[in-house]
Amino acid sequence: MTFVICNSCSKRWDPARDPACPQCTLESWKSEPNLVRPKHDPRKLPRAEGQFRTVVSFAFVRDTAAFLQHAIENGNWFISNRHQGKPCHFTPGPVQDFAGSGIPAGESMPSWGMDGLLIADPVHNPHVMADDEPNFEAEYSEGQFSSLPICSEHCCDHIAYPGERLCVVHRSEPLASTAAGGSPTQRDESPDE
């Protein structure tokens, strides 16, 4: 496993799994005042809209930190091909019973539960909504979502930083460094501190 060290918070992480520091990402999500937009907010119900939408659960609203902690530890990064290639972060099966609910077009109340969380634009403008794992998997298979690319630097196996061709180590303004001056692709089997 490859580890890098965040230049901002000094947290170690595996950039082959997460393209950005999980701790800094989590703190960014937790501090985002508009993380739950009105159309995804269960506190705004009943409210009808002209298209299908989802709302997060009241459990998410009450315990946002626990849901986001679960997401950063268990979710994966993707590219949303239906949103101009912006990154997103999907987490199946949140820590509670369900992440939210689906509301059909024209209806004012949810009709069914959803088991996943989708964080749209997780780096620059994070906002959360409920999603459903089977639905997300089907959309991934249809090409609506794709995996983030690998860093274009020769012999690097890190995931590229969202919206870029290079990883956190190789970008022009590095966000992370390797431990003890090691190679960015050097394998380190020591546990996270």
On the CB side of 108, how many CA atoms lie within 13 Å of its CA? Answer: 4
Q: Which residues of the chain have pLDDT under 50?
A: 181-193
Residue 179: the pLDDT is: 64
Which whole-number Å values give the CA distances from 174 to 9, 53, 70, 92, 112, in the listed order? 13, 38, 27, 31, 44
Q: CA dihedral defined by 65, 146, 123, 24, rounded to 10 degrees?
A: 60
Over residues 148-169, the pLDDT tens digits come to: 999 999 999 999 999 899 999 9
Residue 97: the pLDDT is: 66
Over residues 89-98, the pLDDT tens digits come to: 999 986 666 8
Whole-model pTM: value is 0.88
Residue 193: the pLDDT is: 43
State how far Cα 55 lies from the chain centre: 17
134 φ/ψ angles, rounded to the nearest 5 degrees: -60, -35
Residue 2: the pLDDT is: 79
